[in-house]
Amino acid sequence: MVLVDKQKINSILDSYGEKFSIATICSHSSLQLFKAAREEGVKSIGIVQRDKKSLYESFPLAKPDEFIVVDNYADFNPSDLVSNNAIVIPHGSFVEYVGEKVDSLEVPLYGNRASLVWERSRDKMFEWMHKAKVRTPKILKPEEISGPALVKFPGAKGGRGYVIVNSQNEFRLRVGDKKCMIQEFIIGVRAYPHYFFSPFNNFGYKTSHGALELLGVDKRVESSADEIARAVSAGMHPKMAFTVIGNEPMVLRESLLQEYMEIGKRISDVSFDLFGGMFGPFCIETIISEDLEIYAFEISARIVAGTNVYVNGSPYSGFYYNEPMSTGKRIIRELKSAAKNRKLKDIIY
């Protein structure tokens, strides 16, 4: 869909002045965001499905200040947000539930909404990664399948529906003509770095347009893949699935950090060439092989749920901040500082 006019968003921001609230859908990483807003004295609005309101009311330090109750997550009214001076923080569930309607949504979104368009398409995402000269799994045509390959369908949510095929024949039988991307199966261990890009920073890892922080690293927990060995050892032969059910903390070998920051820098730099830049939190989903080669297979152009592991800060965030710094709190701080310096328009679209 056509993106809402940036001037439209700017004029909404003008109407806000310095005073803003934050809003998001009650899911994904919203508790972390509401908690941070509360701590930073910023009003928060939770868009919540009727049957989940009691859950979000149950956290005294992480409930939103105000609820917008909807029957369906996509059914909120942008003008209710604008009238509350709200800046929307898009997270994974927001992007999923709102879908392409986000493009035309007449409410300010933290970050560059063009980045969500690039995140949405696996083809565009690989174009982005390749322009950034980041190593990725090979993309295969059906006739190039010669061993295990991972088949991913458009908009697969939280890893659901990925399929592994072992041959062209199995591909024909299980996938057929469905639109999909076929990726080389990489053997290694996954790691999900949580980057934060700010155009205002005078510290962090310098990029062409600002600087990067590394606020944490997690590993997604996927069902059934993460305990598939139990089933195999029990004598079963189940098809492996990759549904994300949670996240766990990890730290990277320190000698890998330089390459991770370089990868982050190049992805950030290329985002400016392709669509005017990506602002705030992002994640590059990676696999590290036994030869310490890093393969990227996805970009999340917004806060990822893995940051929920570090609501109280991470081993990395302490290298930048003297206090527990979650990605949620980092976002609120960025917005407060931009509002104070009248630079919200630089990081919001």
Enclosing H/E stretch for 221: strand 211-224
Cis peptide before 224 (omega within 30 of 0): yes
Which residue from 74, 156, 175, 241 is in contact with its own copies, where contact means CB under 8 A?
241
Q: Which residues contact 173 (CB under 8 A, 6 or more apart)?
A: none
The least CB distance from residue 82 to its own copies, in Å, is: 26
Identify which of residues 116 and 211 has a Cβ nearer to its own copies in the complex.
Answer: 211
- Please report whether residue 146 would count as binding its own copies according to CB under 8 A: no
The least CB distance from residue 287 to its own copies, in Å, is: 8
Which residue from 74, 117, 175, 185 is in contact with its own copies, where contact means CB under 8 A?
185
- Please report whether residue 247 would count as binding its own copies according to CB under 8 A: yes
Beta-sheet pairing, 181-184 with 205-206: unpaired
Determine the angle formed by the axes of helices 257-275 and 122-131, rounding to 10 degrees: 110
Q: Helix (H, G, I), strand (E, B), or coil: what is residue 294?
A: strand
The least CB distance from residue 172 to its own copies, in Å, is: 17
The least CB distance from residue 243 to its own copies, in Å, is: 5
Which residue from 257, 269, 274, 333 is in contact with its own copies, where contact means CB under 8 A?
257
Q: What sign has the CA pseudo-torsion 101, 106, 110, 112? A: positive
- Please report whether residue 215 would count as binding its own copies according to CB under 8 A: no
Tokens for 24? 């998001």
Identify which of residues 9 and 28 has a Cβ nearer to its own copies in the complex.
Answer: 28
Q: Helix (H, G, I), strand (E, B), or coil: what is residue 250?
A: coil
Short-list 297, 301, 285, CA closest to 183 = 297
- Please report whether residue 93 would count as binding its own copies according to CB under 8 A: yes
Binders of its own copies among residues 265 to 304 (CB under 8 A) are 288-292
- Please report whether residue 225 would count as binding its own copies according to CB under 8 A: yes
Which residue from 258, 340, 342, 346 is in contact with its own copies, where contact means CB under 8 A?
258
- Cα dihedral: 336, 337, 343, 347 (round 10): -70
Q: Helix (H, G, I), strand (E, B), or coil: what is residue 334?
A: helix
Identify which of residues 118 and 205 has a Cβ nearer to its own copies in the complex.
Answer: 205
The least CB distance from residue 3 to its own copies, in Å, is: 28
